[in-house]
Structure 1
Amino acid sequence: MGILCEILFDKNPKRIFYTGQSLHGSIRITLKNDKYVRGIFVKINGAAITICKADNFGEDCLNDRLEIIGDTRLAAGTHEFPFQFKIPTQLPSSYEGEYGFIRYMVTVSVDIPKIPRKEFEKRIIILRLTDLKDTELQRQVAVTGRFNPYFVCSCLPWFPLKIDAYIDHTAYAPGSNIELEINVTNRSFCKIHGFEAQLIKEVTYVPVLQSIEILKEVKLRGCLQNHKYTVCFGCFIEVPPTSATNLISKVIKIRHFIRITALMRKKCRPVIEVPVTIVTASENQR
């Protein structure tokens, strides 16, 4: 065909872009001979796809297209054309998982008469940028659990064990610390030997697949049985590098939470879960 095409992001060699910002690039086309071109188009698209044994499920996240040039004749040699897209704010971040992925692609299409349309692709990474100074994300999160450690299933309205858990904010970026506080009122006759606090990433792939990963685990002290007073203790959990929470996609959903387990008798391990939002924040907020 005698056409070479490069998709360039000179100011962004890692090809990482953020929602709400502009994507700048250029197309460099090299022709061996003069060519009549019906059009050169560039499009940006994204899709979330789950890979199952029986079938694949997917959804389009992004689909935008620009015409770079229309009917024209290009001389032999190298031609460069800039392009720009505005990235929407409500997009899920790029993700590569065990049973699926969320991917974004920039594609250049060259339409020449009597020749099959030629397409050139380059994958990019889009991350959803979140402002941690948002007042909604600054709110404290509190979860309370009431338990009867004597019965696995009981209809008795008596719950002598109460566990309250708090985290100081709703959202965190990787590298930051989650301040966890636990208040325990144990009026039961069962000793709590200790607590486990696990930061967990749960990924759900439509229709039924799921993966769970423990990102961090902290051991905490317990408390005696038949204790009349509330015992308070806490810890810091550092957020490691991980995928951002994603509840936007209908196909791949990523949620994070802290699972707090009271270590008591063998068959009694009360559990509460504190939801956490992990985000991609700008560098000055990390």
Structure 2
Amino acid sequence: MTISCEILFEKNSKAVFYAGRSLYGSIRLTLTNDENIRGIFVKINGAAITICKAENFGEDFLKDRIEIIGESRLATGAHEFPFQFEIPARIPSSFQGEYGFIRYTITISVVLPKLSTKEFEKRIFILRLTDLKDPDLQKQVTVSGSFNPYFVCTCLPWFPLKIDASVDHTAYAPGSNIELEINVTNRSFCQIRGFLAQLIKEVTYVPVLQSVEILKEVKLRGCLQNHKYTVCFGCYVEVPPTSATDLVSKVIKIRHFIRITAVMKKKCRPVIEIPVTIVNVNGRNSKKSELGRK
């Protein structure tokens, strides 16, 4: 006897679902002979796994199991059974990284006589959506830094170089532009040859692994030395396809920030960082995320 199984999601060929919403699917079971079965079960699982050389670390945050039918006799041919799960709102988005992943699966278990079991599995993708109209995400973010370009390390309370940088909002979606503004007061005798603005994704894998990726880089003009007035300039940094900022998981944490580096003399490169949040906003924008490229 042969049993084949398809896990189907109507009008959702990519199997992309959203946290806080319902997941609808169906099982299409095909038998070559009449068969007695002890039950059919559907399981949904979600876990974060980090892959280390010495040891792997994991975290489970989604486990649910439902019974489709109990003990029955199924005739030869195809049988279709619907199923439904409620996806929790507070779970991380699917992610595939250099040293680990956050992965969700649907598993069908067909329990046969003598307690033998056939299992069929399909990977699904879950994204956590964010409403960019939230007032807290519309706030401007500003970071300031004061530096002494004459000394790499110093306790002297004299900082002739001040850099203020701000972004227009807290959160952004892939495909949007981050409006960056930089205000510089350079009363030192060291010229700033230019500024380098980089959008960076940093992924931390518990316990000690980390990966850093420069997503976008923009070069800006510099500032003369011994300048008594504040110089203001800015640029736009486009957000490319990338996974969303996510700090929900305990073993895989994803954050984004703008790193601004002042290019000066060889041993002095003042740096300030502005945290930004990259989000998934709807199904159309989620196609631009890193998820679609994995």
* TM-score for the superposition, normalised by structure 1: 0.97
Output the amino acid matched with 2:169: H
Match of 1:231 in 2: 231
Shift of residue 75, structure 1, vs aligned partner: 2.0
Alignment of 1:207-218 (within 5 A): 207-218=207-218
Match of 2:192 in 1: 192
Shift of residue 283, structure 1, vs aligned partner: 5.3
After superposing the two structures, state which structure 1 stretch, 160-169 or 71-80, moved more. 71-80
Q: Is the counterpart of residue 135 in structure 1 residue 135 in structure 2?
A: yes
CA deviations over 1:212-250 (Å, ceiling 9, x no partner)? 111110011111111111110000000000111111111
Q: Number of residue pairs matched?
A: 286
Query: Do the aligned partners of 2:245 and 2:278 also contact (CA within 8 Å) in 1?
Result: yes
Query: Whole-Å Cα distance in 1 between the matches of residues 222 and 183 of structure 2?
Result: 11
Query: Do the aligned partners of 2:174 and 2:285 also contact (CA within 8 Å) in 1?
Result: no
Match of 1:78 in 2: 78
Match of 2:95 in 1: 95
Specify whether residues 20 and 181 from structure 1 end up closer, same or farther in structure 2 by C-alpha distance, changes over 3 A only: same
Output the amino acid matched with 2:11: K
Match of 2:221 in 1: 221
Output the amino acid matched with 2:203: V
| Superposed CA RMSD | 1.4
Shift of residue 193, structure 1, vs aligned partner: 0.8
SS of the equivalent of 2:114 reads coil
Structure 2: which 5+ runs fail to align? 287-294
CA deviations over 1:84-104 (Å, ceiling 9, x no partner)? 111111111111111111111
After superposing the two structures, state which structure 1 stretch, 129-138 or 111-120, moved more. 111-120
Specify whether residues 152 and 51 from structure 1 end up closer, same or farther in structure 2 by C-alpha distance, changes over 3 A only: same
Structure 1: which 5+ runs fail to align? none
Match of 1:245 in 2: 245
Query: Do the aligned partners of 1:18 and 1:127 also contact (CA within 8 Å) in 2?
Result: yes
Query: Do the aligned partners of 2:195 and 2:263 also contact (CA within 8 Å) in 1?
Result: yes
Match of 1:11 in 2: 11
Match of 2:291 in 1: none
Shift of residue 60, structure 1, vs aligned partner: 0.7
Specify whether residues 104 and 285 from structure 1 end up closer, same or farther in structure 2 by C-alpha distance, changes over 3 A only: closer
Output the amino acid matched with 1:185: T
Identity %: 78
Output the amino acid matched with 1:182: I
